[in-house]
Amino acid sequence: MSAKAISEQTGKEFLYKYICTSAAVQNRFRYASVSAETDWDCLTQEHPWLLTERLVVKPDQLIKRRGKLGLVGIDLHLQGVQEWLKAHIMKETTVGKAKGVLKNFLIEPFVPHTQEEEFYVCIYATREGDHVLFHHEGGVEVGDVDAKAQRLMVAVDDKLSEDQVKEQLLTHVPDDKKEVLANFIVGLFNLYEDLYFTYLEINPLVVTKDGVYVLDMAAKIDATADYICKAKWGEVTFPPPFGREAYPEEAYIADLDAKSGASLKLTLLNPRGRIWTMVAGGGASVVYSDTICDLGGVDELANYGEYSGAPSEQQTYDYAKTILSLMTREKHCQGKVLIIGGSIANFTNVAATFKGIVRAIKDYQGPLKEHEVTIFVRRGGPNYQEGLRVMGEVGKTTGIPIHVFGTETHMTAIVGMALGHRPIPNQPPMDAHTANFLLNASNSAATPAATRTASFSEPRTSNDSTPAKKSKGGLPAEAQASSGCSGAKATTLFRKHTKAMVWGMQTRAVQGMLDFDYVCSRDEPSVAAMVYPFTGDHKQKFYWGHKEILVPVYKNMADAMKKHPEVDVMISFASLRSAFDSTMEAMQYPQIDTIAIIAEGIPEAQTRKLIKMADTKGVTIIGPATVGGIKPGCFKIGNTGGMLDNILASKLYRPGSVAYVSRSGGMSNELNNIISRTTDGVYEGVAIGGDRYPGSTFMDHVLRYQDTPGIQMIVVLGEIGGTEEYKICQGIREGRITKPVVCWCIGTCATMFASEVQFGHAGACANQASETAVAKNQALRDAGAYVPKSFDELGDVIKTVYDELVADGTIIPAQEVPPPTVPMDYSWARELGLIRKPASFMTSICDERGQELIYAGMPITEVFKEEMGLGGVLGLLWFQRRLPRYACQFIEMCLMVTADHGPAVSGAHNTIVCARAGKDLISSLTSGLLTIGDRFGGALDAAAKQFSKAFDSGMLPMEFVNKMKKDGKLIMGIGHRVKSINNPDMRVQILKDFVKQNFPSTQLLDYALDVEKITTSKKPNLILNVDGFIGVAFVDLLRTCGGFTRDEADEFVEIGALNGIFVLGRSMGFIGHYLDQKRLKQGLYRHPWDDISYVLPEHMSM
């Protein structure tokens, strides 16, 4: 959602902080917020004026007309305020249809004034610009300001001047107040623009001889502009509409949404309700809510929400478990139903998202059965068959009744089943598997022969031979011809030879476009080039049928446009932060006729500037917040239409006779499905996007369809919010639209809710009665459009109209041509489980693919929660075990004692020499590590092996010493250059004390210490050194900690795990020496001559 209401306190804080005006704004920051928990002593200390001034108190909870409702205490002292609050605070109140508890209040100084000093001012945004309303009689009795007020529209990018205000708004204001009011209103308008307000109302605005007073204020800001206004806004809390509580679960989902590239929404309507929904898609979620309410479930509907935009398995799991947790808190006498619905996805992997939902169902299977929950599932899209299979399986294994349906079932049919209005089929027919559509059965690798590429009623040549015809939307053809409008837009957006440029490295979307081109028998790919500013110019590899081709990628748009003058469509996958700049840049090139903006969340003020520029340049914008559009047989935008299985199932590889326009991307794919099942198919379809101000409107596209010969009927899927559908009504009545129009506006449930609900699309919110879906459906019906009774009947009405057109000869059905086939991508075939391939690598210690990093089966959050430390992590990654606490401590001690042994040892010496030669950290560290071996540091493994072999074979310590001497071998781990029995190594002593105190058994260590007694009796420095001690102690650890079998313990010694302890520990020291040399700025090392013994052969004469 973009426009969000803020509290009066927040609005006034913004105004007082940032308004720039010479008018004397009084009572700046003089307000105090009060709730049931308020400490009055602290409050009066913070706001001492509360003790001295007369006061006003009112609730600050987005309640309109508080004065008329008697919810304002006026001209009270502090005690009077407290008494007034006792009568109101935490009391349930009814405002309109909404019941709510009064919790938050605002106290401000009372301003004595006369009625003549009260004024009304309001600024609100529309598509064309910002409207400033002013009335010289403000206050409680202001009445119908729309009818009374003076108004002034400031066009997008224009500025408001004081002269305009005086001339057009202040005609009934006394002369002595005009200057102050004009200056204040201009300052208010600039504030409104700078802080991205979408609505700002002050009533009354009081002007006295002392200055300007802002008494009551209501405001909305564009929440999508947070990244622009964060420094000024700070942390903004958006209160819920009055009558609806703010639940922590809603805040949790909102936080998930903010951290995700996907869309996750949740609004709790009635937590005790028995009907719960988990719907994919902003448009689909509204349709399901509509259907539930139409079938009488409004009082039992528990929630509104949606997940879309390809959320990960973990994100879907978090979303699903939140809903399952909420619905299993209170039992219902009739049991509960969960509707897991959705339209046909364009790009979301249904199986992947369903895995998250299945995980949540398994976790909550007990409570779900206890609360008698029945689940109904309907979904389509990429890999949906696997998703439905998994969902059906979890129903069988858990015993939870789960009814599963695919695209063969009407989208909202499961609602009737869930509510008992229609029977549940035992075995619903399943559509063919994805693979059946995609695998090429023929042996031919050639491009498929041309299939049907023209509509039933359109000559095949007309689509390509007619030049682009630009029309001025909303005007008849003859009026367009005489208008001389330089910004006229094309009637035909896409052709068989349309070439596009893609902004962004969206390889999957581009491959989908190329596969669509191939299956439509296009001669060439529709994507000419890509633009991606974050890499240098290069070529990107794609498939054209079975062949690999290269598509150029450019760092900047100017180069791409220059080298590809044939491109006339730009598809922008730019992020919401960069979409505005990249789109403005694209419109500077006259070759571009159409731009699709996929990004969701572009601030409305920026979108309006894009629209203005597009109108000037004659560019058609599809989006923002859209999946795009499709013209079967010609061209598709990005991920529109989904994957090839859906394109083939919905017959999108060839044109039909029906054109549609929708707001929702997911619902546009559902329309593809409905139209393909009830008519000869789609001629063209566009999803204009869910934002409040889409780049092109319903009427723009309906008029294009009206003027396109191949289109015989039009389908419009409208939506609550805005008034664009009324232009269609006008067009039908005036005879501008003569083709049959089937139309349905979703969001009819909104009028049934007690409090305002913001649906998934930013524009899906009615600000007045005429913007409701119910009002628009009735107006369309009255104008002569074909309007069904509900979305459930949309397909039936489309079929009825189509059949009539066939019956009267307008449409002549053509013979269906079998679709061509496209080779399936290897990665997708593997995803579907159709092929297998041996992996190049195997790993059993770490998995980074999911939402959370996993070490040997343990999530990283658990590692930190359990405070496992470095030793515990090493145990997981090296030994795939969760080691006992003492074992982890021992590992960490080993790392500490082996970290360094001075600069003289060979490894440190090499590291230092390398560092002083100017080499980098990695090279210097590697130089030191390469010296580790049997003679330096690598004795851990060797010592462990030698002592273990001798001990396990039953040799006495003396026998072991004698045998090694006889064989002429050194005993690894015995001996030290400096330390001796008389000068013991404290590192060994520390470790020995710990091991003796904590290890269950130290048999091998005891054996090694007996060997030490023998060797030191011969020479005092033949002690068990730190390498030897760690080696034998580690063997004792592996054999006796209880986590390993004897064979496993021996295997770890054999494969060199123990030397890893020294390597890891000593790396810390080597890095320290490297940093030390760099910090000391030591120069190139050259060994001194006097430390080298030059032993050359005597001179020999020949």
Host H or E run for residue 106: strand 105-109
Are 934 and 943 in contact, with CB atoms under 8 Å apart?
A: no
Which tokens sit at 1038?
């592996």
Q: What secondary structure does DSSP assign to 741-806, as a single string?
A: EEEEEE-GGGGGSSS----SSTT---SSGGGSHHHHHHHHHHHT-B--SSGGGHHHHHHHHHHHHH
**Distance of alpha carbon 168 from alpha carbon 413, whole angstroms:** 55
Q: Which of 761, 909, 976, 1099 is catalytic?
A: 761
- Residue 650's alpha-carbon distances to 645, 680, 788, in angstroms, are 9, 10, 22
Exposure string for 13-31, b = 16+ CB within 10 A, e = fewer: bbbeeebebebebebeeeb
Could you say which DSSP state residue 116 is in?
G
Are 26 and 210 in contact, with CB atoms under 8 Å apart?
A: yes
Q: What secondary structure does DSSP assign to 891-943, as a single string?
A: HHHHHHHTS---TTSHHHHHHHHHHHTT--HHHHHHHHHTT-BTTTBTHHHHH
Which tokens sit at 466?
């007619």
Are 681 and 658 in contact, with CB atoms under 8 Å apart?
A: yes
Q: Kindly give the pairing relationship between strand 713-719 and strand 741-746.
A: parallel
Rg (CA), the chain: 38
Query: Which amino acid is present at 124?
Result: Y
Host H or E run for residue 551: strand 547-554
Which tokens sit at 706?
């009206």
Which tokens sit at 128?
């064309």
Residue 312 CB neighbours (<10 A): 18
Backbone conformation region of residue 65, classed left if phi is above 0, alpha if psi is from -120 to 50, else beta: left
Query: For this structure, is 761 an active site residue?
Result: yes
Q: Kindly give the pairing relationship between strand 73-76 and strand 55-59.
A: antiparallel
**Distance of alpha carbon 262 from alpha carbon 257, whole angstroms:** 7
Question: Pick from 321, 282, 301: which is nearest to 415 by CA?
Answer: 301
Are 492 and 655 in contact, with CB atoms under 8 Å apart?
A: no
Helix (H/G/I), strand (E/B), else coil: 369: helix
Host H or E run for residue 184: helix 175-194
Question: Pick from 194, 138, 191: which is nearest to 169 by CA?
Answer: 138
**Distance of alpha carbon 687 from alpha carbon 308, whole angstroms:** 16
Query: Which positions ≥6 away from 584 have C-beta within 8 Å?
Result: 609, 610, 613
Cis amide prior to 1000 (ω within 30 degrees): no
Are 1035 and 1044 in contact, with CB atoms under 8 Å apart?
A: no
Q: Which residue has the tokens 């059905």?
A: 813
Are 371 and 327 in contact, with CB atoms under 8 Å apart?
A: yes
Instruction: Report the half-sphere exposure of 160 (CA within 13 A, side-chain side).
Output: 27
**Distance of alpha carbon 828 from alpha carbon 29, whole angstroms:** 60
Task: Indicate the angle between helix axes 986-998 and 885-897, nearest 10 degrees.
Answer: 180
Question: Pick from 213, 181, 202, 180: which is nearest to 28 by CA?
Answer: 213
Query: Which amino acid is present at 119?
Result: F
Are 287 and 411 in contact, with CB atoms under 8 Å apart?
A: yes
Which tokens sit at 110?
């009372």
Residues designated as active site: 761
